[in-house]
Amino acid sequence: MAINWFPGHMAKTRREIKENLKLVDAIIEIRDARIVRSSKNPDIDDLCGNKPRIILLNKSDLSEEKVTKEWIRALSKDNIRVLTVNCITGEGLKSIKAVVNELLQEKHERKKAKGIVNITDRVMVVGIPNVGKSSFINKVAKSSIAKTGDRPGVTRSRQWIKTKIGIELMDTPGILWPKLESEETQLNLAFTGAIKDEVMDIEELALKLVERLQDKYPQKLMERYKLKELSETPLDNMDNIGRKRGAVIARGEIDYNRVAVMLLDEFRGGKIGHISLETP
């Protein structure tokens, strides 16, 4: 199932990130805690270089806690901190300011030595589509999402956003990368909604999801859809789920579109359970 989705504005965003990097003190990179590897744009490392970075594992309420802790240990480095957050409820976001201060401690000390007391840290927010960037910004911004005006060297359309946590954010549109190499990455992004459903066959996508869940989380799949047992064949399991949910049309045939929409919605909403599709 080949999936590639790289609209023209994403190439433009990549250029903007590179051009505006010199204007920020640090990077906040948001990933999906369920697919930590797949929701990392491989271009980000090259674009951001050695800039201090905070990786926010968003939707951590939907992932398996044990696996998420493994990811935190695996990703943490000298200039990279990793936090689990929920950008809808705001859980974990209060820790960000202290982590920014820690990462930029030397820079702050240099400024204070020059007599600069009021220090405002500027941070660029990056991430793939539908990973929670807008929710994050809305949660930490003031209610009006106040703009502080253009800075030197920034295009007229680029605005800085004040926040409740004492930093200014530069937002960037969500970007994927030109070629998604592995089918696993393609599917993980599609399962979680990072790629628009409209550009793919959602019935085939849902069948792939059933196949993945019956392999990694068979008990959760059975419990959610009240199945006494699972077949080895994903299509048979999808049929049984359809019958359990009454997605049956004329002559007892399964309404696969209805089953597909339901499966994807319930997975994305966490109704099937805490699921991590990748481990470090």
Helices (H) and strands (E) in the chain, counts: 11, 6
Which region among 100-104, 110-114, 216-220, 227-231 has the lowest average model confidence (pLDDT)? 110-114
Q: Based on the domain organization, do 61 and 134 belong to the same domain? A: yes
Q: Work out the pLDDT band at 14, boundaries 50, 70, 90.
A: confident
H or E segment at 18?
A: helix 8-20
Whether residue 186 lies inside any domain: the answer is no
Beta bridge partners of 53: 27, 80
Same domain, 161 and 236: no
Nearest to 160 by CA among 143, 173, 146: 146
Gap between the Cα atoms of 239 and 247, Å rounded: 9
30 shares its domain with 142? yes
Q: 227 pLDDT exceeds 80?
A: yes
pLDDT-based confidence at residue 173 (cuts at 50, 70, 90):
low
Is residue 148 located within the same domain as residue 50? yes
CA dihedral 151, 81, 66, 42 (to 10 degrees): 60
Same-domain pairing of 81 and 125 = yes
149 pLDDT higher than 50: no
* Rounded CA separation 252/129 (Å): 38
Please state the residue numbers annotated as binding site. 58-61, 130-135, 174
Q: Where residue 2 falls among pLDDT bands split at 50, 70, 90?
A: low
pLDDT-based confidence at residue 148 (cuts at 50, 70, 90): very low
Residue 138 maps to a domain: yes
Picking from 171, 191, 218, the residue at the C-terminal end of a domain is 171
Q: What's the CATH number where 95 sits?
A: 3.40.50.300
**Dist CA 243 CA 237 (whole Å):** 10
59: its two tokens: 């939707």
For residue 196, what are its two tokens?
Answer: 């628009």
Q: Are residues 152 and 32 in the same domain?
A: yes
Residue of 20, 56, 11 whose CA lies nearest to 176: 11
250: pLDDT strictly greater than 50: yes
Task: Give the integer Cα–Cα distance in Å for 152 and 132.
Answer: 28
> For residues 221 and 215, what is the distance between their CA atoms, to the nearest angstrom?
10
pLDDT digits (tens, 9 = 90+) for 75-91: 999 899 999 999 999 99
Answer yes or no: are the C-beta atoms of 191 and 264 closer than 8 Å.
yes
80 and 155 belong to one structural domain: yes
* Whole-angstrom distance, CA of residue 238 vs CA of residue 216: 16
How far apart are alpha carbons 205 and 35 in whole angstroms?
Answer: 16
The 10s digit of each residue's pLDDT in 112-145 is: 888 887 888 999 998 887 888 888 988 988 654 5
Q: Does the residue 177 lie in any domain? A: no
According to DSSP, the residues that pair with 218 across neighbouring strands are none
Q: Does 95 reside within a domain?
A: yes
Q: Which of 125, 149, 171 is the last residue of a domain?
A: 171
CA atoms within 13 A on the CB side of 226: 5
Phi, psi of 81 (to 5 degrees): -115, 150
pLDDT at residue 217, rounded to an integer: 97
Q: What is the DSSP string of 255-272?
A: -HHHHHHHHHHHHHTTTT
In a domain, 120, yes or no: yes
| pLDDT mean across residues, the chain | 86
User: What's the pLDDT at 98?
Assistant: 93
Domain that holds residue 135: 8-171
Residues forming the annotated binding site for GTP? 58-61, 130-135, 174
Check whether residue 75 and residue 144 sit in a common domain. yes
Q: Greater confidence, 150 or 158?
A: 158
Residues 152 and 69 reside in one and the same domain = yes
Q: Total structural domains in the chain?
A: 2
C-alpha distances in angstroms, 72 versus 60, 84, 134, 148, 190? 11, 8, 23, 33, 24
In this prediction, residues 148-167 reach a mean pLDDT of: 59
Residue 251 has pLDDT above 90, yes or no: no
The predicted-structure confidence for 102-111, as pLDDT tens digits, reads as follows 999 998 888 8
- Same domain membership, residue 101 and residue 23: yes
Question: Does the pLDDT at position 18 exceed 90?
Answer: no
How high is the pLDDT of residue 269? 93
For a pLDDT cut of 70, what percent of the chain falls above it?
86
Is 187 a member of any domain?
no
Residue 60 domain flag: yes
User: Is 3 a member of any domain?
Assistant: no
Domain boundary among 127, 153, 171: 171
- Residue 147: band (very low, low, confident or very high) from pLDDT cuts 50, 70, 90: very low
- Alpha-carbon torsion 45, 88, 23, 180, what sign? positive
* Phi and psi angles of residue 90, each rounded to the nearest 5 degrees, phi first: 90, 0
Query: Are 133 and 256 found together in one domain?
Result: no
CATH number at residue 263: 1.10.1580.10
- Does the pLDDT value for residue 38 go beyond 70? yes
- The confidence band for 24, taking pLDDT boundaries of 50, 70 and 90, is very high
| 176 and 128 Cβ atoms separated by less than 8 Å | yes
Percent of the chain with pLDDT over 90: 55
Q: Within this chain, do residues 151 and 86 fall inside the same structural domain, yes or no?
A: yes
